Amino acid sequence: MLLCDFHIHTKYSDGSIELKKVIDIYGQAGFDAIAITDHVVNGDSSIGKLAHRFKYTVKEENFREYMDAIEFESARAWSKYGMLVISGIEISKNYISSDRSAHILLLDLKEFVSASWDYERIFLEARKQDALVVACHRTPCRT
């Protein structure tokens, strides 16, 4: 059996801990694999605009820095703890209406994907990049 967590946020979005410390916490706890999946929040809603204002999102401008930091920490985690670290993001489409909102993990992504894109474009881009797509939050059903 493997001990894994594939939905982890750091200070790159709304997490309270720096990436290096997150790696050490999970490594010291004996995890086998984790994925760093900070938010990429849509900017076309009032909720999204707040996330951008308070820097609770990875943006296209800092995406490469984010990915490079994960790559560096991934090598350190493997060397120090034998722990696999997977890079990713959480596409966070936040609207007042739960019918329009969704959170989607994209794992092993290579290039930036915007949460402001429509769902079809997000999925097609993830597929093009051979990323793993995971629906990570369920919106309430209406009957």
Task: Give residue limits of the domains in the chain.
Answer: 4-111+130-137
C-alpha–C-alpha distance, residues 101 and 70, integer Å: 27
Name residue 89's beta-bridge partners.
38, 106
Q: Which two tokens stand for residue 91?
A: 């596409």
Fill in the amino acid letter for 39.
Answer: H
Confidence of residue 48 (pLDDT cuts 50, 70, 90): confident
Tell me the fold of 4-111+130-137: TIM Barrel (3.20.20)
> What pLDDT score does 100 carry?
82
Q: Which two tokens stand for residue 132?
A: 């793993």
Q: Which residue, 133, 111, 140, 119, is CA-closest to 42? A: 119
Task: Please give the span between the terminal C-alpha atoms of the chain, in angstroms, as a whole number.
Answer: 38
Backbone φ and ψ for 111, nearest 5 degrees, come out as: -125, 160
Q: Which residue has the tokens 């086998």?
A: 32
Fill in the amino acid letter for 25.
Answer: I
- Range with the poorest average pLDDT among 31-40, 52-61, 122-131: 52-61
Alpha helices in the chain (DSSP H): 19-28, 46-53, 60-81, 119-128
Model confidence, pTM: 0.92
Angle, in degrees to the nearest 10, between helices 60-81 and 19-28: 30
pLDDT tens per residue across span 15-28: 999 999 999 999 99
